[in-house]
A and B are shown apart, each in its own frame.
Chain A
């Protein structure tokens, strides 16, 4: 279980999350010439969210590749390159546009290791901005991490801080297996953090306890980490409820040890995610708790989530996304059960 504030010696820069992503890409591309990025508008344009800003100028068109608009082509081609030993980092412009590539991801990337009896792996990182809060409906806002976590053979990672974004991305690029790397675009530029200039890894598969507490464990990830922290602080003040907030960071594999350890301490849990409730990862987390710590359980697991609807536009978005008031209500319900 890693702790909240990283110890940093050496030079740092105060970066936003999207700048840290860019920094991670640049760092790995400098260190390893097999690493390359590809996708729609990633080159000359620097990416629609500027996650690849300046990379085209530094590394040229052979390593920062503008592709035609075709996600199946982008990911499928990257898989073949990876099979040959390159380390592509394809970008999908918005997670909602990944569906055409799903066949390639599931049928090829996730199964290459098994199918080749371990001779080949698809060493690649599929990056995609995801999640709501930017006033655009449907594809531009949805959170489908559960669809990928459901596929054996894929790792699914979601950073929620600039420090983690760089370190997890570097670890993902170095990981021999395909990683789906989802970036919470709502907080791409929401805040800055000191990020080391040097290269470093934040290990994949490990949750981070963002706030220690004794009354309830609240599991969350991505852009929901901030409103959850806010809710926890307010509850401490208003109700004297001491919530532990766990940023899962890894949707696959889930950090079972941290989940269970935290739950055994508190006996109560809530999960906060922006994806729809039905079939969301909240259900998986609740089941882990049941399987591993039933006798510690003092209340049903509360799920505070988006609705079972397509992601709505604008006026309804503020209701759709869990915010501190709704999160506090869910936590209170679990604590007072």
Chain B
């Protein structure tokens, strides 16, 4: 069932096109803001930007209902937090390691969790989150919530046994879960071609008879339609779906990656051809869906929101040392007094 869907723009209503466009621009502008701040030294640790994954994130975000769960994976996470509805202020504050972030500044870019918004937190062990996603899905099934679980993973993470085990459980129990492999061709320096001898990572669903699709993940409409269909199937008791969303990683693995493993030319080529944001922008303007002026206004409006989020993060306090033990299960072994912190 691997198909290369290329649905027509006209297949979705105007409102959906608006939403897809807005989400994509939100992700790109947010990430540009993060990039500036990281270069200034305001953002600690590592930063993995979503450039190239915007359509994939937007498509799944718009297809999801607010009560559906998202268990994020891969390294391109900020866009996934954004489409799950976490406000810019909160994400930015967490990236800055500030007390006003959803994790109180103790999680940062890689570990943002927002249970109220049904965003399941991420462990940095790539390829481990798909199993809890199956469990969340089993719980939805048992409690008949009608909610579906979406779980993302990068191409690199699919090498891990834990991912395949998740598929086995999802298939065995017909779970309401949609697994989305965001295949950007690279796990840091290791290319997908080196990794597997199969044509498409969606083939991983085949032996388990999981409906599997390989789509152009830089086309937001294709992503939206495929994921919507998968969500509907899951909600109606039709079980899991596996989607390979083929995208491009437009920047290095992390900011500062010298990319010794690919030539500048290779990187440039993929940028020009597969930048989902400029491509969709051109498409919507050409189709007369939005004027160039209205598009610019949208960008300006979002940039203001990004600027305000950066200011919010800067103005927010660091977590107090006494919060080190907050929300930590402390078993009565030795422990340590708060006074030590």
A130 to B315, CA, bound (A): 33
| Closest residue on chain A to residue B317 by CB atoms | A315
| Closest residue on chain B to residue A47 by CB atoms | B189
Interface-facing stretch out of A95-103, A109-117, A153-161: A95-103
Consensus secondary structure, chain A interface: loop
Contacts of A136 in B (CB 8 A): 44-46, 108
B177-193 vs A: 1/0 string, CB under 8 Å? Answer: 00000000001111000
Question: A48 on the interface (CB 8 Å rule)?
Answer: yes
Question: A316 touching B160 by the CB < 8 A rule?
Answer: no
A99 to B124, CA, bound (A): 12
Contacts of A278 in B (CB 8 A): 331, 333-335
Q: Mark out the residues of chain B between 87 and 130 whose CB falls within 8 Å of any chain A CB in the assembled complex.
A: 97-98, 105-108, 110-111, 123-128
Question: A312 touching B106 by the CB < 8 A rule?
Answer: yes
Question: B160 touching A138 by the CB < 8 A rule?
Answer: no
Question: A69 on the interface (CB 8 Å rule)?
Answer: yes
Question: B323 touching A308 by the CB < 8 A rule?
Answer: no
Contacts of A315 in B (CB 8 A): 97-98, 105, 318-319
Question: B232 on the interface (CB 8 Å rule)?
Answer: no
Question: A274 on the interface (CB 8 Å rule)?
Answer: no
Known A73-B159, A100-B162; contact A140-B45, beta-carbon cutoff 8 A: yes
A278 to B335, CA, bound (A): 7
8 Å CB contact of B187 from A69, A71, A314: A69
A273 to chain B, nearest CB (A): 13
Question: B188 touching A41 by the CB < 8 A rule?
Answer: yes
A70 to B153, CA, bound (A): 14
Question: B44 touching A66 by the CB < 8 A rule?
Answer: no
A99 to B324, CA, bound (A): 24
Question: B125 touching A314 by the CB < 8 A rule?
Answer: no
Question: A70 touching B124 by the CB < 8 A rule?
Answer: no
Kindly list the 4 A-B residue pairs having the minimum CB-CB distance in the complex, ordered from nearest: A45-B189, A68-B159, A314-B97, A315-B318
Question: B156 on the interface (CB 8 Å rule)?
Answer: yes
Task: Show 28 residue pairs from A and B whose CB-CB distance is below 8 angstroms, ordered by the A residue.
Answer: A41-B188, A44-B260, A44-B261, A66-B189, A69-B156, A69-B159, A69-B187, A69-B190, A96-B124, A97-B125, A100-B128, A100-B160, A136-B45, A136-B46, A138-B111, A138-B124, A139-B124, A139-B125, A277-B334, A308-B335, A308-B336, A312-B106, A313-B97, A314-B105, A315-B98, A316-B106, A316-B321, A320-B324
A136 to chain B, nearest CB (A): 4
User: Measuring CB to CB, which residues of chain B are less than 8 angstroms from any residue of chain A?
Assistant: 44-46, 97-98, 105-108, 110-111, 123-128, 156-157, 159-162, 187-190, 194-195, 260-261, 318-319, 321, 323-325, 328, 330-331, 333-336, 340-341
Contacts of B160 in A (CB 8 A): 69-72, 100
Interface centre among A44, A73, A314 (most CB of B within 10 A): A314
Question: A279 on the interface (CB 8 Å rule)?
Answer: yes
8 Å CB contact of B127 from A69, A279, A310, A312: A69
Question: A314 touching B334 by the CB < 8 A rule?
Answer: no
Question: A319 touching B321 by the CB < 8 A rule?
Answer: yes
Question: B324 touching A40 by the CB < 8 A rule?
Answer: no
B49 to chain A, nearest CB (A): 16
A182 to B174, CA, bound (A): 43
Question: A137 on the interface (CB 8 Å rule)?
Answer: yes
Contacts of B156 in A (CB 8 A): 68-69
Interface centre among A310, A312, A315, A319 (most CB of B within 10 A): A315
Contacts of B46 in A (CB 8 A): 136, 140
B229 to chain A, nearest CB (A): 29
Interface size range of chain A in the complex: 35 or more
Contacts of B98 in A (CB 8 A): 315
Contacts of A99 in B (CB 8 A): 125
Contacts of A320 in B (CB 8 A): 324
A324 to chain B, nearest CB (A): 16
A241 to B97, CA, bound (A): 38
Contacts of B318 in A (CB 8 A): 315
Question: A265 on the interface (CB 8 Å rule)?
Answer: no
Q: Mark out the residues of chain A between 312 and 337 whose CB falls within 8 Å of any chain B CB in the assembled complex.
A: 312-316, 319-320
Contacts of B125 in A (CB 8 A): 96-97, 99-100, 139
Question: A135 on the interface (CB 8 Å rule)?
Answer: yes
A261 to B324, CA, bound (A): 37
Question: A40 touching B110 by the CB < 8 A rule?
Answer: no
| Closest residue on chain B to residue A311 by CB atoms | B106
A104 to B22, CA, bound (A): 47
Question: B159 touching A70 by the CB < 8 A rule?
Answer: yes
Contacts of B106 in A (CB 8 A): 137, 310, 312-313, 316
Question: A147 on the interface (CB 8 Å rule)?
Answer: no
Question: B330 touching A308 by the CB < 8 A rule?
Answer: yes
8 Å CB contact of B111 from A40, A137, A307: A137
8 Å CB contact of A310 from B157, B159, B194, B328: B328
Q: Mark out the residues of chain A between 27 and 61 whose CB falls within 8 Å of any chain B CB in the assembled complex.
A: 40-41, 43-46, 48
B121 to chain A, nearest CB (A): 11
Contacts of A314 in B (CB 8 A): 44-45, 97, 105, 108
Question: B105 touching A307 by the CB < 8 A rule?
Answer: no
A290 to B108, CA, bound (A): 42
Question: B45 touching A279 by the CB < 8 A rule?
Answer: no
Known A135-B44, A313-B45; contact A68-B190, beta-carbon cutoff 8 A: yes
